[in-house]
Amino acid sequence: MDPILVLDKVSYQYPRSPQLVLRDISLQVGRGEFLGLIGPTGAGKSTLCLALNGIVPQFYGGRFFGRVAVAGLDSLEHPVSEMARHVGSVFQDPETQLISTSVENEIAFALENLCVPSEEIKARIPRVLAAVRLEGMERKHPHELSGGQKQRLAIAAALAMQPDLLVLDEPTSQLDPLGAQEVFAVVHELNRELGMTIVMASHAAEEMAEHADRVALLSAGRLVRIGTPAEVYGHPELLEERTLRPPQVARTFYLMQQRGVLVRDIPVRLRPALDALDTLSRDCRIDPPTTQQPPTQSGGALLSIRNLEYVYPDGTEALRDVSLDVGRGEYVLIVGQNGAGKTTLVKHFLGLLQPTSGTVAVGGTDVRQLSVSELARSIGYVAQNPNDQIFNSTVGDEVAFALRNLRCPLNEVEERTLAGLQAMGLVEQRHQHPLSLPQGDRTRIVIAAILAMRPEVLILDEPTTGQDFQGARFILDISRRLHQTGKTILVITHHLYLMPDYAGRVIVMGKGTILLDAPIRTAYHQVDLLRSTFLDPPQAVLLARHLSERVGQDIPLLTPREVADCVVCDSPEVQAP
Amino acid sequence: MTEQPSGEEREIKVLGGAAIDGAPLAYVVVLAAVVAGLAFIPLSAVIGSGKSFPMSQAIFPLIGWILGPVAGASANAIGALIGVLVAPHTTTVPAATILGAFMGGFGAGAMAGGGSRRRWWLVVGVVGLLAYAAYAGRAVLQNGVGVVAVILGSFIDWSALLLYLLPTRKMAARWIGGQDLGKLTAGLFLGTWMVAGLTHLVSSTIVYYVLNWPAPVWAAMAPVAPIEHAVRCVVGTVIGAGVIAGLRAIGLVKAKFAAY
């Protein structure tokens, strides 16, 4: 292997941190390789990404041990500006990386700073735009681009430097499914067709298993394991110990293995998993469990919409002819591509938007007769970007803010604030500045503030974005507990694989209308409809669909456990390939 | 740190990063842009001129504490220069605005100077004394304005100068550099009173020599200027407390001569 990146016993401690965030990491990445970095939040993935171009430690300071070399350049002996010629970096949130007023200026910016001749800059711009499939958008303002396009523009700007190594730190975590697909497709192409060396940190297990050559598992700053996707993801117990999620196919076959089915090599990609399932379905019995649809809500509609249309002031028609009832105590999942109208829809319940035509009622009262503050007492809304809802200097003040404004008695403010903090596991952080906490924790701060208000309805708009698996489950478990106490829950998310344990009903939206409103087992198995709005059904659902076709019977299963449980092998020598 | 890494510890150097007096150029650019942006917002009217003070005056000291005296003064001056061009409605005399901004950043940064910079505040003090002598001297000796009217009308200027020359300067700097949020807030208010007052003094001296406002204006300034200055200090304190708390929280590398 011709290594382009060498890490030799790398350890690092941030200036005010009492402990190391990277511990004795040694690894090599070959030219043209795609290395995936996985690990729970706080494992050191982002710090490692920053160490590759010298930002850690040159910008942050602290204590640094060992050596990082890219293309033979030691990251401590060369300025970041020089390292940047060899290491292109793309970060989580594309909004924070784009600073220019046009796509071509954005790409030219770094090159101009490096005094690259203008003729050369002009020659590189179309090349990199073609590489990320953004041809023809040279004059567009970056803010006119979709999330996926913005992230691809950030990649193009990094590529324009003609780096030896492209480092991407969770580049899809803030994107919708289409945006994430676009980014993975572009990165895959760069790697396979142009031979670009890639290091990518990501929680997207299915995609990493599909695209990476090797995967490195970090935990508490240590490199726990490195190997092919099969060598890492093929050991779900190793990942689950560290609160990570393996690809659903790997978990399904692992669970089968646990039930005594002899699975020689656990598949980590969908195609081999389908082939393995074919073998099993030939040799084993498929015994689908009886599945139950969630009970229909008998109570009256708490939230009601009739013939709703909404047109934004710029003329964009965001919703058209939407009618919907949500019963008291329901748990509803709303899904759809960005721009489908999901957030616009829920903002009508809060009085934040007024219908262009049609009616919206909460508890039987037209929202036009209720003020935003009245609605806010009964409906808690956690917006997509927690930073938009945070403005106090401590976590505790943030959670108490609304209660103080409602002039609640001091002891009640204290009691409810503490309860909100406890529910979200934030008591220890109550005196910290909200911005000092990771993005995932900031979402929990906003939820704690909403919980302190004790609303009747809780609307969570993309609460799992930017969260690792444990963080996402933590938030959704809270929503389930509230649901069990009779609260009405509406969740908007693109992460379909998370929701079978929580939601009973799914509303699929597309282009401002409701495409499907059905119980979750029905909705998740409308694979073509979901894909038409760029949603990928969970792999467990695809396995169940495959089984359905094999046995000629509808098997509406949703989770790896359900799929694993329905494969019954009487003969112990049956083996999946 | 309880465990010992196996790799050899390396010396960390900041290589090749563009900086002004130890403050990364990026910080200077961003804060200059903030100053220019705040120039659009009028803080209060300038009596007798038909113009207004820019809101950016409230953060001139803060920028000096964040960036240090040289980089702070540079950011303020660059931001004020841009502000003069893009927001002329908050500029009475462009040179006064820019020099005042420079004085604000330098005066704030010099408050906390140690080592070879421990006497830099004296430069600010001397400039302040000379400016006050020119300001009040012209009013009393050339224009025949009553001494009492000048003293009352320039209360914020001489009180700022006095507080800056006394140990209160060091005390405010200590509070701003400490971890106690209450003292930080008090230090920001007191420091802004001093430094924004000096900014006002330098700017007003130049403006007075250009416009030479009539004697009744001194009387009008007496009750208005302290209130206006207090508002300036409150704005600076509110913004400053949030910004400094935030900067400390996110652990962004401090400029070499930052005071917080």
Q: Are residues A548 and A429 in the same domain?
A: no
At A545, the pLDDT band (50, 70, 90 cuts) reads very high
Phi, psi of B24 (to 5 degrees): -50, 140
Average pLDDT (A134-147) is 88
Q: Is residue B6 part of a domain?
A: no
Please choose, from the candidates B112, B122, B132, B118, the residue with its C-alpha nearest in 3D space to the C-alpha of residue B62.
B112
Q: Are residues A39 and A150 in the same domain?
A: yes
- Which residues of chain A approach chain B closer than 8 Å at the C-beta? 8-11, 13-16, 18-20, 23-24, 54, 57-67, 76-82, 393, 432-433, 435-436
By percentage, how much of chain B surpasses pLDDT 90?
A: 71
Find where tokens 């689908």 sit.
A288
Give yes or no for B170 touching A (CB within 8 A): no
Average pLDDT (A201-218) is 95
Phi, psi of A185 (to 5 degrees): -65, -45
* Structure tokens, A206: 């299915």
Say whether B1 and A20 touch across the interface (CB within 8 A). yes
Tens of pLDDT along A254-294? 999 998 888 888 999 999 999 999 988 888 888 887 776 66
pLDDT for residue A399: 94
Average pLDDT (B239-257) is 84
* Structure tokens, A433: 């500045």
Q: Least CA distance to B250: which residue of chain A?
A: A436
Residue A576 pLDDT exceeds 70: no
Q: Which of A77, A99, A113, A436 to mutate to test the interface with B (most CBs of B within 10 A)?
A: A436
| Element of type H or E holding A215 | strand A214-219
pLDDT for residue B252: 73
At A533, the pLDDT band (50, 70, 90 cuts) reads confident
At A8, the pLDDT band (50, 70, 90 cuts) reads very high
Q: Are residues A415 and A333 in the same domain?
A: yes
Q: Is residue B169 part of a domain?
A: yes
Average pLDDT (A549-564) is 92
Write the DSSP symbol of residue A96. G
Say whether A65 and B5 touch across the interface (CB within 8 A). yes
Q: Are residues A161 and A307 in the same domain?
A: no
Residue A138 pLDDT exceeds 70: yes
At A444, the pLDDT band (50, 70, 90 cuts) reads confident
Cβ A129 vs Cβ A103: under 8 Å = yes
Q: Which amino acid is at A467?
A: Q
Residue A296 pLDDT exceeds 60: no
A82 CB neighbours in chain B (<8 A) are 16
Cβ A502 vs Cβ A493: under 8 Å = no
Calculate how close chain A gets to B75, using CA atoms only, in Å. Answer: 20
Residue A235 pLDDT exceeds 80: yes
Q: Which amino acid is at A356?
A: T
Q: How many CB atoms lie within 10 A of CB B237?
A: 23
- Total domain count, chain B: 1
Choose among A16, A23, A78: nearest Cβ to B5: A23
How deeply is A10 buried, as exposed, middle or buried, from its count of CB atoms within 10 A (0-12, 13-18, 19+)? buried
Q: Which amino acid is at A416?
A: R
| Element of type H or E holding A81 | helix A80-83
Q: Are residues A403 and A431 in the same domain?
A: yes
Question: Can the peptide bond before residue A463 be classed as cis, meaning omega within 30 degrees of 0?
Answer: no
Q: Which of A56, A435, A439, A445 to mutate to test the interface with B (most CBs of B within 10 A)?
A: A435
Domain boundary pick from A204, A224, A242 = A242
The interaxial angle of helices A439-452 and A469-484, nearest 10 deg, is: 10
A220 CB neighbours in chain B (<8 A) are none
pLDDT for residue B225: 92
Say whether A60 and B251 touch across the interface (CB within 8 A). yes
Calculate how close chain B gets to A110, using CA atoms only, in Å. Answer: 14
Q: Are residues A217 and A261 in the same domain?
A: no
Find where tokens 């935003």 sit.
A372
Write the DSSP symbol of residue A86. T
- Total domain count, chain A: 3
Q: Least CA distance to B254: which residue of chain A?
A: A60
The residues near A91 (Cβ < 8 Å, ≥ 6 apart) are A97, A154, A169, A170, A171
For chain B, report the end-to-end CA distance as a whole number of angstroms: 26
Task: Quote the CA–CA distance of B245 and A436 in Å, as a whole number.
Answer: 10
Residue A295 pLDDT exceeds 70: no
Cβ B36 vs Cβ A86: under 8 Å = no
Calculate how close chain A gets to B11, using CA atoms only, in Å. Answer: 8
The residues near A316 (Cβ < 8 Å, ≥ 6 apart) are none
Q: Are residues A347 and A199 in the same domain?
A: no
pLDDT for residue B174: 95
pLDDT for residue B91: 86
Residue B153 pLDDT exceeds 80: yes
* Structure tokens, A220: 């508490």
Q: Is residue A296 part of a domain?
A: no
B33 CB neighbours in chain A (<8 A) are none
Q: Is residue B204 part of a domain?
A: yes
B237 CB neighbours in chain A (<8 A) are none
pLDDT for residue A58: 87
Q: Are residues A440 and A544 in the same domain?
A: no
CATH code of the domain containing A482: 3.40.50.300
pLDDT for residue A117: 95
- Residue B223's DSSP bridge partners are none
A76 CB neighbours in chain B (<8 A) are 10-13
pLDDT for residue B236: 95
Q: Is residue B135 part of a domain?
A: yes
Task: Quote the CA–CA distance of A38 and A12 in Å, as a whole number.
Answer: 18
Q: Which of B15, B185, B243 to mutate to test the interface with A (most CBs of A within 10 A)?
A: B15
Residue A297 pLDDT exceeds 70: no
- Residue A216's DSSP bridge partners are A37, A226
Please choose, from the candidates B110, B57, B87, the residue with its C-alpha nearest in 3D space to the C-alpha of residue B235.
B57
Give the residue, A291 or A376, on which the prediction is more confident: A376
Could you tell me the residue range of the domain that residue A492 belongs to? 301-524
Tens of pLDDT along B16-57? 667 888 898 889 999 999 999 999 998 776 666 666 788 899
Residue B5 pLDDT exceeds 80: yes
Q: Is residue A534 part of a domain?
A: no
Task: Work out how many CB contacts closer than 8 A connect A with B.
Answer: 90
Pairing of strands A34-38, A214-219: parallel
Tens of pLDDT along A315-350? 889 999 999 999 999 999 999 987 889 999 999 999
pLDDT for residue A1: 66
A23 CB neighbours in chain B (<8 A) are 3, 5
| Element of type H or E holding A509 | strand A505-510
Q: Is residue B28 part of a domain?
A: yes
Give yes or no for B241 touching A (CB within 8 A): yes
Write the Ramachandran bin of A434: left for phi over 0, alpha for psi from -120 to 50, otherwise beta: alpha
At A573, the pLDDT band (50, 70, 90 cuts) reads low
Pairing of strands A214-219, A222-227: antiparallel
Q: How many CB atoms lie within 10 A of CB B45?
A: 13
pLDDT for residue A220: 93
pLDDT for residue B220: 87
How deeply is A156 buried, as exposed, middle or buried, from its count of CB atoms within 10 A (0-12, 13-18, 19+)? buried
Cβ A342 vs Cβ A515: under 8 Å = no
Mean pLDDT of chain B: 91
pLDDT for residue A218: 96
Q: Is residue B126 part of a domain?
A: yes
Q: Is residue B255 part of a domain?
A: no
Q: Are residues A433 and A485 in the same domain?
A: yes
Find where tokens 């140690």 sit.
B114
Q: Least CA distance to A74: which residue of chain B?
A: B10
Q: Is residue A131 part of a domain?
A: yes
Phi, psi of B221 (to 5 degrees): -70, -30
Instruction: Enumerate the H helices of A132-290 as residue ranges.
Output: 147-159, 177-194, 205-211, 229-233, 236-240, 248-258, 270-283
- Three-state SS across chain B? CCCCCCCCEECCCCCCCCEECCEEHHHHHHHHHHHHHHCCCEEEEECCCCEEEEHHHHHHHHHHHHHCHHHHHHHHHHHHHHHHHHCHHHCCCHHHHHHHHHHHHHHHHHHCCCHHHCCHHHHHHHHHHHHHHHHHHHHHHHCCCCHHHHHHHCHHHHHHHHHHHCCHHHHHHHHHHCCCHHHHHHHHHHHHHHHHHHHHHHHHHHHHHHHCCCHHHHHHHHHHHHHHHHHHHHHHHHHHHHHHHHHHHHCCCCCCCCCC
Choose among A18, A20, A58: nearest Cβ to B14: A58
Q: Is residue A7 part of a domain?
A: yes
Q: Are residues A256 and A331 in the same domain?
A: no
Residue A298 pLDDT exceeds 60: no
Q: Are residues A335 and A235 in the same domain?
A: no
pLDDT for residue A59: 82
Residue A577 pLDDT exceeds 60: no
What is A259-295 written as a DSSP string? TT-EESS---SHHHHHHHHHHHHHHSEE-PPP--PPP
* Structure tokens, A132: 């990320």
Task: Quote the CA–CA distance of B100 and B84 in Å, as a whole number.
Answer: 12
At A377, the pLDDT band (50, 70, 90 cuts) reads confident
Could you tell me the residue range of the domain that residue B76 belongs to? 20-250
Give yes or no for B25 touching A (CB within 8 A): no
Say whether B17 and A81 touch across the interface (CB within 8 A). yes
Give yes or no for B179 touching A (CB within 8 A): no
Task: Quote the CA–CA distance of A37 and A511 in Å, as a whole number.
Answer: 36
Give the residue, A329 or A18, on which the prediction is more confident: A329
Tens of pLDDT along B77-109? 999 999 999 988 888 899 999 999 999 999 999
Task: Quote the CA–CA distance of B90 and A103 in Å, as a whole number.
Answer: 34
Q: Are residues A464 and A564 in the same domain?
A: no
* Structure tokens, A361: 């009622």
CATH code of the domain containing B227: 1.10.1760
**3-state SS assignment for residue A441:** helix
Say whether A64 and B12 touch across the interface (CB within 8 A). yes
pLDDT for residue B181: 86
Taking CA A310 as the corner, what is the angle to CA A304 and CA A314, rounded to the nearest 5 degrees?
Answer: 160
Q: Least CA distance to B238: which residue of chain A?
A: A393
Q: Is residue B127 part of a domain?
A: yes
Tens of pLDDT along B61-72? 999 999 999 999
Task: Quote the CA–CA distance of B176 and B192 in Å, as a whole number.
Answer: 11
Q: Is residue A531 part of a domain?
A: no
Say whether A393 and B9 touch across the interface (CB within 8 A). no
Please choose, from the candidates B102, B103, B120, the residue with its C-alpha nearest in 3D space to the C-alpha of residue B111.
B120
* CA A374, A376, A377, A378 torsion-angle sign: positive
Say whether A24 and B251 touch across the interface (CB within 8 A). no
Calculate how close chain B gets to A23, using CA atoms only, in Å. Answer: 7
Choose among B7, B12, B242: nearest Cβ to A9: B7
Pairing of strands A365-366, A357-362: antiparallel
Q: Is residue A349 part of a domain?
A: yes
